[in-house]
Amino acid sequence: MSEIEVLADQSDIGQKGTVVRSHVIKKILRNPMGFIAVVVLVFMVLLAIFANLLAPFDANFANIGKTLASPDATNILGTDSVGRDVWSRLVFGARTTLLSALLCAAVAVGIGLPAGLIAGYYAGKFDGVAAWVVNILMALPGIIVLLTVRAAFGPSVWISMIAFGVLLSPGYFRLTRTAVQSVRNELYVDAARVAGLSDWAIISRHIFSVVRAPIIIQTAIVCGVAISIQSGLEFLGLGDPSVATWGVMLSEGFKNVYLNPSLLLWPALAIGATIGALVLLGNAVRDALEDAEKIKPAKRGSVQASNGRTAPGRAQTTAVEAGTEHHLVKVSNLGVGYPQADGSIKKVVDNVSFHVDRGEVLGIVGESGSGKSQTAFSILGLLPENARIVAGSIQFDGNYTVAPTDDRVSQSRLSAFRGKRISYIPQEPMSNLDPAFTIGYQLVTPMMRVLKISKSEATERALALLDDVGIRFPEKTFDAYPHEVSGGMAQRVLIAGAISCEPDLIIADEPTTALDVTVQADVLDLIRDLQKRLNVGVILVTHNFGVVADLCDRVAVMQDGRMVEEGNVRDILRNPKDPYTQKLLGSMLEGKEPMTMLVSAGVTAAEAAARDDESDEKETLQ
């Protein structure tokens, strides 16, 4: 994405709320289903509003001399069994039916929304009581309640719709409460509390915006349900026969279905079309609100054509360059990119070359978005499906895993190595252990599969490994579930897993970033010990120069997908040549005079910050 596109994009996003909303409406109308739904609903609403003008007769005006008549000039849709004009009743029926559905939704929203907001925001007693009421309401059989209400208050469509609205309010309550609970503890709500905003201001300003969209969607659906329930009751003959609604018409049409089937057709058509339109509208609103920028994956052909690379598998595994076989890993001029909607490729790694030998630790240092993890993942073959190798090659132990002509990492070639000879230590120890299985199971299973050893042998080995990584009670940890151990312990378990199949290369992606400093020091000690003892090659991805100094023999510094500098760890840390490396090392706090400016000596911090924005903009694009 170019800078200009981004700016244009941003100016569009930054519009006022009303503009954004009209944008949503535009999206709904562009959706064909949404468009049909809106047209049908607008038609029905217009019928209801202008009923007095459109209907030639009153809804209950009966011409006894002209019953069950066929359509003619006076009665364009004919008359019913007592000589009332079908068209007039249909038009007035639209008014009653739609209004009563709205009433039902209004009652449901009116009860459910405020109750949900209060219960979600304050929790406590009100939440407890409300939850009980909701459970009882949801347990009540709706139809029986409606029949009881009719028996008690008479056959009024309005009263039955109010009752139905009360029955539907738990849906809104739950929806609102869940949405509010999810944002109640957001930091921006805390910040508003610190600023002294009243609860009402916080709810209306910061919390209501979260529930607005789901409420609109639910209301469309609820209106449809109200119409269908109302019509159903009236069809059973439980409605008020003196008020013209579509349900009453349906009921009467059914009585005369053999004499004049069209009496059944018109109200059924109106009900079906309206409910269908409401459901479609709800879906269209949802799609419009949830619609993320969809980028169609570029056709493989076009990508290949643009860089002249072939699909993996077809390419012959040519012999690697002579004289480089002894390197454990060698990455040459690697480029990784992601195809964009317009057919171009956004490069995230560009022209990166390095090698790692046995028993050597290479650090890859860089800030977020520098491409350091993408580089590591291309060696592991764990890039996302749509990623493309656009240049260069990767060889492992004298064989190509990405040949110079491949455009993707060859999974078949790599799976012979991965887990056996290349292993991985991730950043977040907790999210890399499956909470549903014991730690022992998660260590034993891969060993049985990869090393083809028996379960008892693998168990023995796992216990030895846990002991090896400094876990004091291996048996206890072996039987524990991941949530029962601390973060540092979990990272030790993962390291045990990484060395369990005796790899030649370990790729560690920010292995200590999520850990406390004191735990980090222990884990670094562990990695150093194991590396020396097992003589493995290690690629350590990190942003911390202290960690680099602690572990690495050589270091590569990356910025914006490029490698800006590579060399011996002492040379790079003591005499950085590249201005970016100098800037990074200059940002380190160790050895700095406290209370002095780090980057902005002589200029104000604000100016320095503004200057820093140039690189920040790039960060935003990642």
Q: Using CB atoms within 10 A of its CB, is residue 388 exposed (0-12), middle (13-18) or buried (19+)?
A: buried
Residue 56, helix vs strand vs coil: coil
**Residues near 11 by beta carbon (within 8 Å), at least 6 away in sequence:** none
Helix, strand, coil shares, percent, the chain, to 5: 55, 10, 30
Q: Which of residues 151-190 bind another protein (CB under 8 A)?
A: 186-188, 190
Using CB under 8 A as the binding rule, whether residue 76 contacts another protein is answered as no
CB-nearer residue toward another protein: 225 or 573: 573
Nearest distance in Å: CB 590, another protein: 5
Instruction: Choose the binding region for another protein from 75-83, 310-318, 395-403, 595-603 (rule: CB under 8 A).
Output: 595-603
Token pair for 46: 């217009």
Nearest distance in Å: CB 28, another protein: 19
Single residue of 4, 195, 292, 436 touching another protein by CB under 8 A = 195
Using CB under 8 A as the binding rule, whether residue 68 contacts another protein is answered as no
CB-nearer residue toward another protein: 240 or 565: 565
Give the distance, in angstroms, between the CA of residue 34 and the centroid of all CA atoms in the same chain.
Answer: 24
Using CB under 8 A as the binding rule, whether residue 554 contacts another protein is answered as no
Instruction: Choose the binding region for another protein from 68-76, 135-143, 410-418, 604-612 (rule: CB under 8 A).
Output: 604-612
Nearest distance in Å: CB 25, another protein: 18
Size of the site for another protein (CB under 8 A): 76
Using CB under 8 A as the binding rule, whether residue 291 contacts another protein is answered as no
Instruction: Choose the binding region for another protein from 55-63, 203-211, 265-273, 382-390 (rule: CB under 8 A).
Output: 203-211
Instruction: Choose the binding region for another protein from 23-31, 79-87, 421-429, 586-594 (rule: CB under 8 A).
Output: 586-594
Q: Which of residues 354-383 bind another protein (CB under 8 A)?
A: 367-368
SS (H, E, C) 433-491: CCCCCCHHHHHHHHHHHHCCCCHHHHHHHHHHHHHHCCCCCHHHHHHCCHHHCCHHHHH
Q: Which of residues 482-501 bind another protein (CB under 8 A)?
A: 487
Query: What is the C-alpha separation between 538 and 383, in angstroms, rounded?
Result: 19
Q: Please give the order of strands across the beta sheet that includes 505-509.
A: 422-425, 505-509, 537-542, 361-365, 554-559, 562-568
Using CB under 8 A as the binding rule, whether residue 209 contacts another protein is answered as yes
Query: What is the C-alpha separation between 422 and 67, in angstroms, rounded?
Result: 87
Nearest distance in Å: CB 564, another protein: 13
Q: How far from 432 is each of 202, 435, 485, 497, CA to CA, in Å?
A: 37, 9, 13, 11
Query: What is the C-alpha separation between 164 and 100, in angstroms, rounded?
Result: 10
Using CB under 8 A as the binding rule, whether residue 610 contacts another protein is answered as yes
Token pair for 619: 């960060």
Single residue of 5, 72, 434, 613 touching another protein by CB under 8 A = 613
CB-nearer residue toward another protein: 106 or 123: 123
* C-alpha closest to that of 89 among 126, 53, 132, 59: 59
Placement of tokens 């406290």 in the chain: 594
Single residue of 384, 435, 591, 602 touching another protein by CB under 8 A = 591
CB-nearer residue toward another protein: 431 or 587: 587
Using CB under 8 A as the binding rule, whether residue 516 contacts another protein is answered as yes
Token pair for 484: 């029962």
Single residue of 521, 531, 562, 563 touching another protein by CB under 8 A = 521
Single residue of 543, 562, 567, 578 touching another protein by CB under 8 A = 543
Using CB under 8 A as the binding rule, whether residue 604 contacts another protein is answered as yes
Give the single-character DSSP code of 434: -
Using CB under 8 A as the binding rule, whether residue 469 contacts another protein is answered as no
Nearest distance in Å: CB 71, another protein: 53
Dihedral sign (CA 428, 433, 434, 438): negative
Return the number of other C-beta atoms located less than 10 Å from residue 17's C-beta.
8
Nearest distance in Å: CB 134, another protein: 20
Single residue of 364, 490, 547, 558 touching another protein by CB under 8 A = 547
CB-nearer residue toward another protein: 368 or 454: 368
Q: How far from 406 is each of 299, 393, 399, CA to CA, in Å?
A: 16, 8, 14
Query: What is the C-alpha separation between 419 and 381, in angstroms, rounded?
Result: 11
Residue 256, helix vs strand vs coil: coil
Q: Which of residues 7-36 bind another protein (CB under 8 A)?
A: 10, 13-16
Query: What is the C-alpha separation between 316 and 319, in angstroms, rounded?
Result: 9
Placement of tokens 């009024």 in the chain: 156
Using CB under 8 A as the binding rule, whether residue 602 contacts another protein is answered as no
Q: For helices 157-184 and 208-235, give the axis angle rounded to 10 degrees.
A: 150
Nearest distance in Å: CB 208, another protein: 10
Instruction: Choose the binding region for another protein from 136-144, 332-340, 406-414, 605-613 (rule: CB under 8 A).
Output: 605-613
CB-nearer residue toward another protein: 232 or 546: 546
Instruction: Choose the binding region for another protein from 59-67, 263-271, 324-332, 588-596 (rule: CB under 8 A).
Output: 588-596
Single residue of 141, 308, 384, 594 touching another protein by CB under 8 A = 594
Instruction: Choose the binding region for another protein from 105-113, 264-272, 334-342, 542-550 (rule: CB under 8 A).
Output: 542-550
Instruction: Choose the binding region for another protein from 58-66, 174-182, 341-349, 587-595 (rule: CB under 8 A).
Output: 587-595
What 466-475 contacts at long range (C-beta under 8 Å, 24+ apart), as own/partner pairs, is 466/492, 466/493, 466/496, 468/496, 468/499, 468/530, 469/493, 469/495, 469/496, 469/499, 469/526, 469/530, 470/522, 470/526, 471/496
CA-CA-CA-CA dihedral for 211, 217, 220, 221, to nearest 10:
-110
Instruction: Choose the binding region for another protein from 27-35, 205-213, 230-238, 387-395 (rule: CB under 8 A).
Output: 205-213
Show the DSSP H helices in 50-78 as ranges: 51-54
Using CB under 8 A as the binding rule, whether residue 597 contacts another protein is answered as yes
